Amino acid sequence: MFSIDRLILLAAILILFGILSSKLSARLGLPVLVLFLLTGMLAGESGIGGIAFDSPQAAHALGTLALAMILFDGGLQTPVSSIKMVWRPASLLATLGVLVTALVTGVAAAYILDLPLLEGLLLGAIVGSTDAAAVFSLLRNAGIHINKRLKSTLEIESASNDPMAIFLTVGLLEVLVNDMPFGLGLLQLFVMQMGLGAVVGLLVGWVSVRVINRIQLVASGLYPVMVASCGLLAFGIAANLGGSGFLAVFLAGVVLGNSRFVFQRGTFLFHDGLAWLSQITMFVVLGLLVYPESLLEVWWQGLLIAAVLILVARPLAVVPMLRLFRFSRNEIALVSWVGLRGSVPIILAIFPLMFGLPNAELIFNVVFFVVLISATLQGSTLPLVARRLGLTEPPPAAPAATLEITAVGDIDADIVEYTLGEHPRADGRLLSQMALPDDTVVAMITRGTTVIPPRGSTRLQQGDHLFVVLKPETRPFVDCVFAQVAEAPRLDLPDTELRLKGNTRVEDLRHSYGIDLAVEPQLTLDQLLRRDLAEDLKDSGGLVLDNVCLQVRGMIGNRVTTVGLRPLPQAEDTPL
């Protein structure tokens, strides 16, 4: 048997065992990363698997690649609206928050482990950042539902604070090993890491979208692979130029995820699976690297440092910053508690081993122990803490099916899923009464596990999922039709023309958009225009009623098939 044959078998067994262990996560109340780490430890030389693995360089290489793919997937799933909502508190937590956490924990570690202050600060820097893989997994896959602002703050902080921890770790190692002076040298390193990482990530993301939409590949399965390559390209360019590859790959993912490109949904599913595979591989390999008996030698020091990190350093970093942005006391408490440490500290703890630092093994073992305590304690209690603080929300309704446009090339259309909540405006109304824009089509309706063919006679109900094909410019109008409020405020309408079918009734127009034309409610727009404009249907400048201009945009014979509707400013009495 070739050695690669045995390696493939072992890899398959470990990955399958890791996947199966994720099923135990919810039952045991433990984050999946803890189970993956335990899987690696059990498979190691000191465990039942007996696999000998003692290569920090290989673990670092695999961990870096896996973390890059996890951050890229996180960026793909992060809406720009979430970043705009919380970029200020999240960026402060990701930079100044990491610094405060590293300083407080580092001073405590130097005292507890009897290390020189700089080596203690190095340990503090290593555990200074929260872990994106752990936070994403808990908030997106563990059934925890909190408000959007709070969730976005936690996710964006965890995805963007790794560069700061890496900068502090590398900077302190340069000072310890290569005698780099404090001050200007560290400042230059910081600017290079953050500045180059951000510029490269945004630029590669922007170019990637245009290349993906222009190129026509021979196989549709190549598109997700191409997107993954673009993410790795961002990481590689930034890292080789001296910037932060992790920041670059995350930002490239954000740009791609918030742009329109072909085979988008299939690409997202591919990267979700790739991120899970990366998590399993990374944590299992890191688990293989540690000897369980070495953790017992530092258990009490690790407990003390973990206590300082969780109960002192993290709250000191979080409380004053979030108070500036008017987070509630309970929200601040939850953010203080959700400071999970994971793969990044363990990967960074490999750096002192690679640099040959005298106390490198001690630092690695303590960091690994702190990560286990943090992930187990904070991760397993997060649902309980969120409920006790009154911050949990009902889970959003999930659709029973998914649709996607899969044509190659630019498509001027989207498929949007709308869920009718508890009190939707459309509840109990026929689909033909929705007054949807002329070029909008309801492609499918799901109710529970049943697929309902959309017809004009279909009566909508709470909990329905509607998959609607629409043009991007009509999205605000369709959002208004399926809004979760009983009355339609006219002020919500954009100042653009809405094109409707001629058989749209005046009553339906009022119910869907809040536009009351002050005429008989049963009239259709076709009947109204033919009655009031008579023979001047095609040549008239339009009809103005209730500060709304109605214009004929399409006719078949004497029948008006398409009507252009544009709300006018309240002070005007003439059509635009």
Round to whole Å and give the CA distance between 148 and 379: 19
**Cα angle, residue 337 at apex, residues 333 and 341 outer, rounded to 5°:** 155
Check whether 519 has a pLDDT greater than 60. Answer: yes
So what's the pLDDT on residue 98?
92
Q: Is the pLDDT of residue 489 over 90?
A: no
Confidence label for 391 from pLDDT (cuts 50, 70 and 90): confident
- Is pLDDT of 408 > 50? no
Nearest to 193 by CA among 244, 153, 136, 258: 244
What angle (nearest 5°) sits at the alpha carbon of residue 282, between those of residues 278 and 288? 150
Residues 252, 230 contacting (CB under 8 angstroms): yes
Region of 417 please: left (phi>0), alpha (psi -120 to 50) or beta: beta
What pLDDT, on a 0 to 100 scale, did the predictor assign at position 422?
Answer: 74
pLDDT at position 24 is 66
| Per-residue pLDDT band at 202 (split at 50, 70, 90) | very high
- Model pLDDT for residues 351-363, shown as the tens digit of each residue: 888 888 888 889 9
Looking at the predicted structure, is the pLDDT value of residue 575 above 50? no
User: Under DSSP, is residue 457 helix (H, G, I), strand (E, B) or coil?
Assistant: coil
- Distance separating alpha carbons of residues 30 and 380, to the nearest angstrom: 5
DSSP code of residue 180: P
Averaged pLDDT of the chain: 82
Instruction: Give the three-class secondary structure for 298.
Output: coil
Task: Give the per-residue pLDDT at 30.
Answer: 64
Tokens of 535: 């023979």
- Degrees, nearest 5: CA angle 294-300-304: 125
Pick 285 or 303 by higher pLDDT.
303
Torsion angle (degrees, nearest 10) of CA 9, 12, 14, 15: 170
How many Å apart are CA 49 and CA 6, to the nearest integer?
13
CA distance 251 to 248: 5
φ, ψ (nearest 5 deg) of residue 537: -60, -50
Cα–Cα dist 486/86, whole Å: 30
What's the rounded mean pLDDT across residues 476-489? Answer: 74
More confident residue, 43 or 432: 432
Quote the tokens at residue 449. 């596990």
Q: Could you tell me the maximum CA-CA distance found in the chain, to the nearest angstrom?
A: 95
Please indicate whether residue 56 or residue 93 has the higher confidence score (pLDDT): 93
- 214 vs 262: CA distance, rounded Å: 10
| pLDDT for 133 beyond 70 | no
Q: How confident is the model at residue 383 (pLDDT cuts 50, 70, 90)?
A: confident
Residues 485, 423 contacting (CB under 8 angstroms): yes
- Most confident of the following: 167-176, 220-229, 469-478, 494-503: 220-229
Two tokens, residue 419: 């869920």
HSE-up of residue 14 (Cα within 13 Å, Cβ side): 31
Q: Where are the beta strands (DSSP E) in 192-331?
A: none
Closest C-alpha among 69, 121, 71, 129 to residue 95: 129
pLDDT band at 205 (very low <50, low <70, confident <90, very high): very high
Structure tokens at 13: 């067994």
Segment among 22-26, 90-94, 265-269, 336-340 with least mean pLDDT: 22-26
The average pLDDT across 269-278 equals 85
Q: Are 389 and 453 in contact (CB under 8 A)?
A: no
- Mean pLDDT of all residues in 539-548: 75
Closest C-alpha to 25, from 386, 375, 285: 375
Residue with tokens 């090339």: 409
405 burial (CB, 10 Å; 0-12 / 13-18 / 19+) is middle
Residue 70 has pLDDT above 50, yes or no: yes
The two three-digit tokens of residue 539, written as one number: 């040549």
Nearest to 169, CA basis, from 3, 366, 349: 349
Is residue 440 within 8 Å of 468, Cβ to Cβ? yes
Report d(CA 335, CA 326) in Å as an integer. Answer: 13
Top mean pLDDT of 160-174, 255-269, 293-307, 389-403 is at: 293-307
- Alpha helix (H) ranges present in 292-359? 292-296, 299-308, 314-324, 329-337, 343-355
* Beta pairing class for 543-545 and 559-567: unpaired
Residue of higher predicted confidence among 322 and 287:
322
CA distance 31 to 281: 16
pLDDT over 90, % of the chain: 21
Going by C-alpha positions, the residue among 410, 482, 485, 457 that lies closest to residue 215 is 410
Q: What's the mean pLDDT in 272-295?
A: 81
Percentage of the residues of the chain whose pLDDT score is greater than 70? 85
Q: Is the pLDDT of residue 487 over 90?
A: no
Tell me: pLDDT of 9 over 90. Answer: no
Residue 574's pLDDT is what?
40
Residue position matching structure tokens 């910053």: 321
Q: Residue 571: exposed, middle, or buried by beta-carbon count in 10 A (0-12, 13-18, 19+)?
A: exposed
What are the structure tokens assigned to 170, written together?
Answer: 């590398």
What is the per-residue pLDDT for 47?
66
pLDDT over 90 at 134, yes or no: no
Does residue 131 have a pLDDT over 70? Answer: yes
When pLDDT is averaged across residues 426-453 and rounded to a whole number, the result is 89
pLDDT at residue 543, as a whole number: 83
| pTM summary value | 0.71
Question: Given a cut of 70, is residue 397 above it in pLDDT?
Answer: no
Residues 43, 13: Cα–Cα separation, whole Å: 10
Task: Using the predicted structure, report yes or no on whether residue 144 has a pLDDT greater than 80.
Answer: no
Q: Are strands 498-501 and 559-567 parallel, antiparallel or unpaired?
A: antiparallel
Most confident segment among 179-188, 198-207, 332-341: 198-207
Letter for the amino acid at 108? A
Residues 6 or more apart from 542 whose CB is under 8 A from it?
Answer: 549, 550, 551, 552, 564, 575
Token pair in block for residue 285: 């390999």
